[in-house]
Chain A
Amino acid sequence: MTAEAQRRRAFWHILLFAAGLVVLTVISAGSVYLVNKARDDSKWVLHTIEVENQVNTLLLEVRRAESSARGFLLTQGPDFQADHERAIAAIIPALDKLTRQIGDSPAQRDSVEKLSAAIEVRLGQFAREMDFVKQGQLDNAKALVREAAAGNTTTTISNLANAMIREEERLFRLRSANADRSQTLAASLTGIGSGLVVVLALISIWLLRRSARMRDEAETRLRDAYANLEALVDERTADLREANNEIQRFAYIVSHDLRSPLVNIMGFTSELEELGGDIFRRVSSLTHVPADGPPLPSGEIALEGPDKQLSEDFSEALGFIKSSIAKMDRLISAILNLTREGRREFQPEKIDIREFVEAIVSTLAHQAVEAQAEIHVEPLPDIVSDRLALEQIFSNLIDNAIKYLKNGVPGEIRIRGRTKLGYAIFEISDNGRGIDARDHQRIFDLFRRAGTQDKPGQGIGLAHVRALVRRLGGTMSVSSELNAGSTFTITLPVAWNATTRKTDR
């Protein structure tokens, strides 16, 4: 999957999340607002009912006052009088309450003013009526009642009250409708919001599933690639191993078969040397027959002039041939040994490296003393590896360190070790003559050497050491500067397992 597609998907995820958040916020705010509004509307509806109620209460009290006044007029009973007084007493507070309640509506305020005026008139009539009855002027009282009936005061009151109730009923309908609308709105808002959230959730789930599927596919592809890679690596490893074995066999056969003619060359050169000796002895005996005295002791050749020159040339030629043969023999032996090392099966075993290195150092003690070198062995980690191979590695490196010290400078050779991530790292450092940076690769090549060639050697040691280190599953490197000492670093697995690099032959 491309990075572009990944970015786009992440963008969509964020967008979805943001949209969800916005929807939720809007729904919450809207719901809170609408619920508040609905509560408000309900309050108003309730208020309307209360006002209606109050109007009815007022009307009831007026009627009660009227009927009790009439009762009193008819019977002059104190019960009616008390009842009337209670009703009268209730009217004014009821009216006040109503006035307070309808403060919100100007139309109702007008009605209330008219109503209270009418009630005041009626209350005045009541007072006069009651006074007449109390004073026994019943006729006057009756006349007043008739007058009141003619003046239609009560009807006016009840008309006004009914008008108010009708107004309140209108308000009630209006406010109920409002409350209904608010509630419907709240419900639809919640419904729509929930729907949106569900839709967003579904989209999210879809996106998630899609990305999970893509991840699974990618994983499968990765696994396949891994399997392929492993097969490829196995194949290549087998090829390389085959090639390596081929080279080993080739080197072995070549060096082995080269040795055969060399045996003849060396053997017959020796024969020639013997022959040459015989010939020149004969020449000498022929040219130097002493007239008197004893013959020359056999084996001694006394030649003069050109004969001596010939004999010397002959010896010199043979000398060159023999030294070249000896060199060639050493080189062939070296190749043979290297190929043999390449074919030897390693035996991994646990080795106390410090003890092991100290044993090697003690065998090199004589050379170290001769070279005025001190060898310090620091604590070294133990590893599992092949003893013989390690011996060759360490003795070669320490031997080199002793061999290539600076003339006249006391040598100091240090062997250090540490472990890191399953590997043991050993460092063999010296204060010797060092190696020029351009020779760092060369010194590991077979038969190649660097620096002043004042020490005996074939140029085999380091090539051999590196081959061994590699076979032991490790690596090897050098860091050095000319005249500033060298440090050879070997990295070997702490627990080497022969099966990890089995040579299949």
Chain B
Amino acid sequence: MYKYKKDFPIFKNTKFYNKDLIYLDNSATTQKPQIVIDEYAKFYENFNANIYRGIYRLSEEATSMYEGARTSIAKFINAKSNEIVFTRNTTESLNLVVLSFAKSILKKNDLVVLSVVEHHSNIVPWLILQKEIGFRIEYIDINKESFELENIDKYLELKPKIVSITQVSNVTGVENNIKEIIRKAHLKGAFVIIDAAQSVPHKKIDVKDLDCDFLAFSAHKMLGPVGIGILFGKEDLLERMNPVLGGGEMILSVDQDSCTFKEAPFKFEAGTVNFADAIVFKKSIEYLDGIGMDNIEKYIKELSGYTYENLSKVNGLKIYGQKNNSGIYSFSLKAVHSHDIASFLDEDNIAIRAGHHCAQVLMNRFSVYALSRVSIYIYNTKQDIDNLCISLSKISDLF
């Protein structure tokens, strides 16, 4: 898999401190292959025009490319095209579900079930809406050994209207058995929303097989551009939802007193959308499909195991999580502050994440303020992990 590293120009170009870049912050965002970067220029040099609006060939070409991107993305997760809404990112996708779908069905005494591993993007929108409506929120705890979400049954006994959880934690990297959770939640009549920001880049996701009601992810975490997120929603649910943003191109007609909306997904895409990035995202999907998501899953799993074993050998290093298939590990090293660890590693041109990872609920659960995190992707190698562990051992020796 490391042979793909050459497709990413940043590894040739960026030599801070005269050292090769070792990029291990892939959960935050991934690097971009040359063909994805080239796609920008190709679009702007040949096809740029505002979509839907122009009754001329150039606009029609751009429109067709944008809708082609929607079709590719739908196929990538086994959805229908009209079940794919373009947003800015996972955060906006989740906010859209909360502000439209959840807002329309929740009442004062209803219950929403989240989990302690959620990213702030799957907590804060609920807290904002809760202030308005006054529903209750329960958080599923994690199992102390496996770090997976604990059995959901007792939470379902409380009859939640909605369960909104992450598939793979951005802190522990541990994958939850969401298929089983979705099945059980549906039996109790709850809708299920999945934050798939850390899972879609790593493995084949089939929304039909999972049977989730909504699923959100971001392009930039899977070799695509920043500024494009996806919301999958089941056709019938999207149809009954109200738009959150109003404006151009999402309407059928407007007069002084009323307006009518287009069908989903168009009613959710008001104004001039980020069509260029959506079109570029299609190229990232083609690149990933070219490698094969099964191959990617296999490679990440193998390198993840190697990462776990080698991090575990560093003196004084404690992993907050378990060996996983996602290649995401958060850790502490003796009493060294995570920002200091990141600064020391930066001197070796090793990029990792330090801080609370937008998961303060989980940090509180772990009784820590901040952790360091490594996260791998297809261009990382065993050599990258060896170099990381050598640098971490040097830091450990200093304290």
- Do A and B pair up? The answer is no
Q: Which residues of chain B have a CB within 8 Å of any CB of chain A?
A: none
Q: Which residues of chain A have a CB within 8 Å of any CB of chain B?
A: none
